[in-house]
Amino acid sequence: MIDIERRKALILLTAVAVAAIMSGIVINAYSANNEEDSSNGFAGCFNGRMKMPGTCGGPRGGLGQQGFQGFVEVSEEFKENVINIAESDQDVQNLLNDGYNITGVRPIIKARVEASGDVVIKATSAIVMLEKDTTGHASVWVDIEEGKVTKIEILTRTVIEKP
């Protein structure tokens, strides 16, 4: 009788551990260091929702085109706040004046485990995606808590046609 209870407890503990690991993988896929995604076309898949890596050609692989199609919805208020912070930066203003357009806001989500064991998930920063025609893409990192732009990455493509 005691062996059956121990077996049930072990199975339950294993299931909880697997769920925790899978949750960590999913949260990590959404969170920090998404900058490598901006250079490979992943940003073009962003329409106000952030798709799971692997569902739109992201470098992390994920579960592939037929796999899990998870989303993080971004509220209009969040987008407006992040865009206002970005637009207050002089370098971002220069990009906008040079013909770049804002095409999306991607949250960077941070999960923290408190001393009590509670998990706090919060978007502490975001990436504002900018595009200029077909020749330029820019990623603007915004620290929401500090209310400032921390990094700007500009990728340009020059095409030289020869006869």
* Per-residue pLDDT reduced to its tens digit, 14-70: 887 777 787 777 666 555 444 444 433 444 344 444 444 444 444 444 433 333 335
Alpha-carbon span 109 to 121, nearest angstrom: 7
Kind of pairing, strands 71-73 and 136-143? unpaired
Find out if CATH 3.10.450 is the number for domain 31-156. Answer: yes
Averaged pLDDT of the chain: 76
Q: Check: CB of residue 40 under 8 Å from CB of residue 59.
A: yes
User: Given this model, what pLDDT does residue 37 score?
Assistant: 42
% of the chain at pLDDT higher than 90: 37
